[in-house]
Amino acid sequence: MTDVFSGNVGDGGDRLVCTFLVVNVGATGRLRPRKEDSGSSTEDATIARLPVGDGSVRDGIEHASSSGQVDFSWVADEPLGEESDFCDEAIIAYAMVETTSREDPPNWYCCAPKEEDRICHHFPGKQFTMYEFAFREAGIRLPFNSFQMSVFKWLRLAPSQLHPNALAFMRAFELVCQFLGIGCTRALFFHVFHLQRSGSRGRHSWVSFKQPVRLFKTYEDSVRHFKNRWYVVMPITRAALHSLYYYQRKPNGEETLMSKIPLRWQRDHFDLSTAHYRVKYAMLGEEDRLAYKKLVDYVQSFSLGFWANRQGVPYLDEAGELITETRYINTKALLECDTEEEALALLSAMPNARDRVLKLANQVGAPDRVPKKKKKTVARVSETAGDAGAGPSQAASVIPSSPPRSNPINIPDSSPSPAASPLHKRKRPAGPLTRSSPGSPNGPGSYLLPPCYVERSFFKAEESIVVPAPEAKAILDQDAAARRKDLARDIAAVIRVMETAMVMTDTSVSTASLEDALLQVRTEKERLSKDLSDYKEEHQLQEGLSQKLEEVEKERDQLKAAKASLEEQVVDHQKLTEDNAGLRAQVESLEGKVRPLADETEEERALGSRGELLGHIRTLNQDLVACFKEGFDNAVEQLGLLNPELVTAGSPYNCCVRDGEIICPFEAEEELGGEEEEEDEEVLRAES
């Protein structure tokens, strides 16, 4: 089912001169460029209002450029010279770009470019170019998943800048990681794959991948006709748009739409060497290292593939052994699966598959180019196969099981040297069965049967089946009785084989048993799935409880520390309480000593310290002494006036008459009082 989407595309005035064909999933659409209808526009209003501007948006940076202004001198001639085949209306395109049901509206549209457009050109608005190979052969679907986005962002390359083989490697890597149950991470991918660039003299084209340790087969050594099969893709719904773009707020408050990955060809990637994009083993995390080991172990468990010609006849070496080579993950077979379930089933069967590697004589070296010693081997192999030229090929085809390769990682090159593989020509020899060598895995004395299952057309109708002359002579030399005896024995053997085959292939028995076995497997699978789900829930619960336990233990330690601190504070508080009680008693004692009397004056109550009190007492003492002296002097003066002849010399105011003598009784006391005054002065100085 297809819908036509026509109108203006782009926000800067640029208009794509074509009509867009929106293709629903499952449809193969015809990309038909038509003349633009300038009078109508059905562009989604949500898309139209987005502030993208005229510039190209790439790698999170807004660049003001267009196809006519961008410098493509760094691009090689091939991408610049390849016009899209879909400019021709008669060519059908595979446009299954997303996985939705037919009833759902499409999220993306595909349109044909103009004849002058190239894969590396910058298209207006939110359009970007994609090769048909990415969707048809590689099986990539929009929107890109997180792994694909991380690869494009890390490489700083648009999806169309990667070679088709690189896209095939990416998709196969995802499927293998899903099958093995390992993380599909960018670090692991770029440890398995390194970069390989094409171009010369500073001009670049497509970027592909190579493997330092080979684990995957290349999709095709030379992918044909992909360069001209490309078209333009654009998101037409909000969900599709948000899968590729995000809003970035500028300092002035304006929001600009920026791309999450490069969508247009750019040169930034080539500014750095290919070594910059590698991930060494030492740079891998623990999970990625375990995943890499699991991936290598899986590939090393593959049985060997054997060389054979078009008729399925395997090649033998000079010792009569099958010529084999190391097998890798079959990328092409994996991507040719219609569903992920088929791909996972193929990966499950891949280690034990007995793959035939088609080799032509010109691929491994013609017999006339083989050294003389090995020419004899070729002749011996041909003679062993028989000398009846028109008969069917009966060379060895039963492949002995080969042991898995052992670690360490040492994957040999799968391209054998012509000199090391002497092969017979591609004619089909006939004759007796080929006896295996004494060193064969099947043991000495065993015979290799012709490949009648591998090649269903082993005996062709146009070919006559002949009996070798020695066999015919031996039959004719027998007498009738011996011949009848042999025939009876052989007929009985054939009947036993038929009966065995009928019993072993009885559908009534085998189908029921298979159904029962399948039911048991499904029941066991459901039980294991439920157990796994319960285990995951219990594991998550246990992790949560463990985390809570750690938090509780941490809180307990904190509370213990707080308790110890509080106990120390309590001890200090008790000590302070005891000291406080003693101080209170001292204060009460001192307060009792300095408690004011009932008849104290306000001036006396204002004296707050012993020093002030002593100072007041001293002042009063001095005033009293001065008063006594003044009274004594006044009395002496009065007596002198009344008794002019009165002798007053030698009678100071502080003397008295004792035993008829004038003495000073206070001299000793004054000395003692002087010492007390000095002490009082020291106390006053200390208090002040």
Q: Is residue 493 over pLDDT 50?
A: yes
* Mean pLDDT along residues 567-590: 90
**pLDDT grade, residue 568 (50/70/90)?**
very high
Using the predicted structure, report yes or no on whether residue 68 has a pLDDT greater than 60.
Answer: no
| Nearest-angstrom CA–CA distance, 633 and 631 | 5
The burial class, CB within 10 Å (0-12 / 13-18 / 19+), for 634 is exposed
Q: Please give the pLDDT value at position 669.
A: 62
Most confident of 17-26, 246-255, 347-356: 246-255
For the chain, give every domain's residue range: 2-297, 301-483, 610-687
Residue with tokens 């009876």: 488
- Mean pLDDT for 496-504 is 84
pLDDT at residue 35 is higher than 50: no
Pairing of strands 203-210, 108-111: unpaired
Cα-to-chain-centroid distance, residue 684: 85
CA angle, 678 as apex, 676 and 680 as ends, to 5°? 70
Q: What is the mean pLDDT of the chain?
A: 76
Question: Per the structure block, which two tokens stand in for 211?
Answer: 């493997």
Query: What is the structure's pLDDT at 430?
Result: 40
Q: Does the pLDDT at position 678 exceed 90?
A: no
| Banded pLDDT at 474 (limits 50, 70, 90) | confident
558-586: average pLDDT: 92
Contact 233, 109 (CB under 8 A): yes
- What are the distances in angstroms from CA 547 to CA 163, 225, 427, 672? 48, 58, 73, 84
Separation of alpha carbons 145 and 243, rounded Å: 9
Helix, strand, coil percentages (3-state) for the chain, rounded to 5, are: 45, 10, 45
Mean pLDDT of 433-447: 50
**pLDDT for position 626:** 86
The confidence band for 519, taking pLDDT boundaries of 50, 70 and 90, is confident
- Could you report the per-residue pLDDT of 600-621, keeping only the tens digit for each? 777 777 777 778 778 888 888 8
| For residue 340, pLDDT beyond 50 | yes
Q: 385-420: per-residue pLDDT in tens?
A: 333 333 334 344 333 334 444 444 543 343 433 333
pLDDT at residue 333 in the model: 93
The pLDDT score that the predictor gives to residue 470 is 81
pLDDT digits (tens, 9 = 90+) for 182-226: 999 999 999 999 999 988 788 999 999 999 999 999 998 888 889
Pairing relationship of beta strands 661-663 and 656-658 according to DSSP bridges: antiparallel
DSSP reduced 3-state for 104: coil
By CB atoms closer than 10 A (0-12, 13-18, 19+), residue 57 is buried
Q: What is the dihedral of CA 608, 613, 619, 624, to 10 degrees?
A: 130
